[in-house]
Amino acid sequence: MAKDIPLNERIIFALDVSNTGEAKRWVETLEGHTRFFKVGLQLFLRGGFDIIEWILHRDLKVFMDLKFFDVPETVRLAMTALSDRGITFATVHGNDAILRAAVEAAKDVQILAVTVLTSLDEADMRDLGFKCSIPDLVFSRARRALEIGCSGVISSGLEVPMLRKGLGNNFLVVVPGIRPVKNVNDQKRTVDAGKAFENGADYIVVGRPIRDASNPVAVIEGMQTQIQLALSP
């Protein structure tokens, strides 16, 4: 059963841009169509909490995607610094101790555990020393993250059906790597917007397909139509 999430929050626009001026222009262009914006490493290193506060003051939502991965106490202190700022989601990458430290310190921030980056395929995982398949690793990491108390996971759309079948619907799945056509860049495990929601996603993160379009608003509206169809009973 689909969660009660407004359509204009289902698409999280990735503000992966080089400066705060460009980020603000994108927010002003798209805020009438999506209320959710992702701030990642590139923009945060430029704009810090100032850009996050600017977005929040417009009554919009922020997904802070810094993929915290450090010793547990450092992650605990980092999450403490994020709390009470109005941020909705934050990503954490790591073992059980790292995730547990984040969850314990997060307060009002919902922790999303990274499973396997969508830029990696089976060959990449072998190069990193993993002997299990990507689906097995995604499932194992998701199961442990939910047992620890994470609100949800970041997963490729390809693994979402497996997660829903094995772990249920009582957690959030946020899917990056959304591509409207055959992928030709650094994302390897991709689906389109409609397929992500057919598979059980709650949110998708989209950057370049919107940013690079001649009519970004039309792309969002087209994706929202796909989402509505996918979620229709």
Whether the Cβ atoms of residue 106 and residue 79 lie closer than 8 Å to each other:
yes
Long-range contact set of residues 29-34: C-beta below 8 Å, sequence gap at least 24: 29/216, 29/217, 30/210, 30/216, 30/217, 30/220, 31/58, 31/60, 33/8, 33/217, 33/220, 33/221, 33/224, 34/8, 34/9, 34/220
Mean pLDDT of 25-47: 97
Q: What is the pLDDT of residues 122-165, one digit of tens each?
A: 566 566 666 667 788 889 999 999 999 999 999 988 899 999 99
Q: What is the pLDDT of residues 167-214, one digit of tens each?
A: 999 999 999 978 764 444 444 546 789 999 999 999 999 999 999 999
> What are the tokens at 32?
């009438």
**Quick check: pTM over 0.85?**
yes
Active site residue 165: no
* Reported confidence tier of residue 89, pLDDT bands at 50, 70, 90: very high
Residue of 61, 67, 188, 195 marked active site: 67
Please give the pLDDT value at position 186.
Answer: 46
**Average pLDDT along the chain:** 89
> Which residue(s) pair with 36 in the sheet?
12, 61
Left, alpha or beta for 21 (phi > 0: left; psi -120 to 50: alpha)? alpha
CATH class of the domain comprising 7-231: alpha beta
pLDDT at 76 exceeding the cut of 60? yes
Locate the domains of the chain by residue range. 7-231
Please give the pLDDT value at position 129.
Answer: 66
> What are the tokens at 84?
């009470």
Q: Positive or negative CA dihedral for 199, 32, 207, 98?
A: negative
Helix 41-56 vs helix 20-30: crossing angle, to nearest 10: 50
